[in-house]
Amino acid sequence: MGLKSSWLASANAPGCPFPLNNLPYGVFSVGDDEPRCGVAIGDMILDCQRAEEAGLLEFEETPLFDVPFWNEVMEAGPELWAALRARLEDLLGNPAHKAAVMPLLVPQADAQMHLPFLVAEYTDFYAGRNHAFNVGSMFRDPANALPPNWLHIPIGYNGRASSVVVSGTPVRRPWGQLKSPDHALPAFLPSRRFDFELEMGAIVGTASDGPVTVDEADAMIFGYVLLNDWSARDIQAWEYQPLGPFQAKATATSISPWIVTNAALEPFRVACPEREFELLPHLKDTGPMLYNIDLDVRLAPKGKAASTIARTNYREMYYSVPQQLAHHTTSGCPMNPGDLLGSGTISGATKPERGSLLELSWGGKEPLQLETGETRSFLEDGDTLTLTGTAHGDGYVIGFGECVGQILPALEDPYKR
Ligand code: CA
């Protein structure tokens, strides 16, 4: 299936990240207006609140767009998701609707983007094999890089929903307790090894009641975003044993502004890699549940051009989101609409495919050369880090919008009142 044609010319342009095939969901505002739900099409946004008020988005569950978040649509369930997508395809594809819909479009260039949903809870996994191997090699040793459980369950930790911010939000370098191997005692300092992590985030759309199968989990996913799990490596190295990351990952988690739905990603499904150990029955692969999404990372020092520092693909993951979500419910843990699941850092097998500076600079031992002449072991104040994701279809692409954050310097004294 190729490009679906829209009556809006910009949506049909080659390389446009938001053709009719995509229709991702966001929340935007213009000027001092209140934020509202919108759908990206070409270089415009369809204002869902006004479209609903105009009677163009009528469903049993209406009103759905009197609130500035997509959780109500999620809660309405997969039948509504399909009906809404079909209706949007008709409104934006069929020229008969052009006169009615045109006045409801807002230029993306005029819009400020907001978090597209209320983040209920946030879990971050550790499901990229190359990343887990690289980090384990540095933090422990290459012979025992993968923890013994790693090839049997998708391990993760409960993060903080309150840390999640929309792309464009600046991120301040945190202070924390650090301990260098050369000192007997820890010190409280600004992080000197502040890093990014290239990840995808999956958004749970429907609630679970008890354990779910991998196939049931697949049907619960509403969509995907790009995710940057900002990580203070020096805080992490000291605090992580035995309960995992805590303050190292709590400063901020940036997500791209548009939720790309499961439906839009359907043509890009790919299988997980060969298993070294057979997974237990409740976690077994039941079909292709990863996606072929090219990912890249750019770093721009303050006032300088950006250098591409990593390129990889989401298909490098060892576990799919449905496997992660199925595992998450095995204890009976209730999952809810708006739960965000981070994939874990995505790294390919070779050096230019590594999804964090920790790996790219090998813990600072091999500083990365930027195109502007600078080097980087970790992020410096003023650096802007940008993640992008693209799925390449037959005659069209699916984009996510950028996931951007600039590093602000640490506070001089975080306890000064
Ligand atoms: Ca992470």
Distance 359 CA to ligand 1 centre (A): 13
Token pair for residue 256? 């791209």
**Quick one: pLDDT at residue 140?**
85
**Quick one: pLDDT at residue 410?**
98
> Are the CB atoms for 70 and 40 separated by under 8 Å?
no
Residues 310 and 128: their CA atoms lie apart, in Å, by: 15
Tens-digit pLDDT profile for residues 356-376:
999 999 999 999 999 999 999
10 has a pLDDT exceeding 90: yes
Share of the chain above pLDDT 90, in %: 97
* Listed residue (311, 297, 309) closest to 375, CA to CA: 309
Tens-digit pLDDT profile for residues 221-245:
999 999 999 999 999 999 998 999 9
Distance 345 CA to ligand 1 centre (A): 5
First to last CA, the chain: 60
Helix runs in 277-362, H state only: 321-328, 357-360
Quote the mean pLDDT of the chain. 97
Token pair for residue 226? 């790009």
217: enclosing H helix or E strand: helix 214-220
> Are the CB atoms for 136 and 146 separated by under 8 Å?
yes
Q: Phi and psi dihedrals of 39, rounded to 5? A: -120, 130
pLDDT band at 341 (very low <50, low <70, confident <90, very high): very high
Higher per-residue pLDDT: 198 or 241: 198
- Residue 276 DSSP code: S
182 has a pLDDT exceeding 90: no
Distance 56 CA to ligand 1 centre (A): 40
- Classify residue 240 as left (phi > 0), alpha (psi -120 to 50) or beta: alpha
CATH second-level architecture of 9-114?
Roll (2.30)
> Would you call 131 a catalytic residue per the annotation?
yes
Residues 159 and 339: their CA atoms lie apart, in Å, by: 11
Q: Phi and psi dihedrals of 254, rounded to 5? A: -90, 140
Helix runs in 152-296, H state only: 214-220, 233-239, 262-265
Share of the chain above pLDDT 70, in %: 100
pTM for the model stands at 0.98
Residue type, 129: R
Catalytic residue among 97, 131, 282, 392: 131
Distance 230 CA to ligand 1 centre (A): 8
**Quick one: pLDDT at residue 63?**
97
**Quick one: pLDDT at residue 180?**
86
68 has a pLDDT exceeding 90: yes
Domain boundaries, the chain: 9-114, 122-406
Residues 262 and 204: their CA atoms lie apart, in Å, by: 11
Distance 197 CA to ligand 1 centre (A): 6
**Quick one: pLDDT at residue 181?**
83
Distance 53 CA to ligand 1 centre (A): 40
Give me the mean pLDDT over the 117-138 stretch.
95
* Listed residue (377, 344, 342) closest to 359, CA to CA: 377
Residues 346 and 279: their CA atoms lie apart, in Å, by: 21
Distance 159 CA to ligand 1 centre (A): 10
> Are the CB atoms for 336 and 207 separated by under 8 Å?
yes
Distance 126 CA to ligand 1 centre (A): 6
**Quick one: pLDDT at residue 310?**
98
* Listed residue (11, 1, 2) closest to 98, CA to CA: 11
Q: Which residues of 61-93 are buried (b: 16+ CB within 10 A; e: fewer)?
A: eeebbebbbbbbbbbbbbebbeebbeebbebbb
Distance 232 CA to ligand 1 centre (A): 11
313 has a pLDDT exceeding 90: yes
Distance 147 CA to ligand 1 centre (A): 16
Angle at 257 between CA 43 and CA 204, to 5 degrees: 130
**Quick one: pLDDT at residue 1?**
79
**Quick one: pLDDT at residue 82?**
98
Distance 229 CA to ligand 1 centre (A): 5
Q: Does domain 122-406 have CATH number 3.30.420.40?
A: no
